[in-house]
Amino acid sequence: MIITLRALAAEAETKWHADPDRLSKAIQIVEQKTSIYNQHCAPGEWDVRSQHNGWYHVDTKAHSCTCTDSQTGHVCKHRLAVWLHVQANIRSYAEVSRKPESQIMRELGYA
């Protein structure tokens, strides 16, 4: 991976004031590798394993997650985990394929 999760987390914190505590938990989720799936989801939607029990559903287009933290208006760790995961993949792919990030976003159903 060309860009590190910590560099992306720092970017999220600076750009849109993402909560540092939720960001560090989001990094843990992404680092677990078996915690984020989209094989059975519509484009832009993800299943994220709970750090306690079960799964949550994140919809990047609706900016939503099914967890209680998100229901109370916060940008939860699951949404942050999906953002980190997607950004890391898009940026690595952009670098390798030499395609613009915007084109990759379209190809993957994010734009």
Which residues in this chain contact Zn ion in the complex, by CB under 5 A? 56, 65, 67, 70, 76, 78
**Which CB atom, from 78 or from 88, has the smaller least distance to Zn ion?**
78
What is the residue whose two structure tokens read 């914190």?
A: 13
Q: How far is the CB of 107 from Zn ion (least distance, A)?
A: 26
Which residues pair with residue 47 across a beta bridge? 37, 57
Other CB atoms within 10 A of residue 85 CB: 21
> 3-state DSSP: the chain helix, strand, coil percent, rounded to 5?
50, 15, 35
**End-to-end CA gap in the chain:** 23
Q: How far is the CB of 43 from Zn ion (least distance, A)?
A: 19
**Which CB atom, from 5 or from 76, has the smaller least distance to Zn ion?**
76
Q: How far is the CB of 69 from Zn ion (least distance, A)?
A: 6
**Which CB atom, from 15 or from 52, has the smaller least distance to Zn ion?**
52
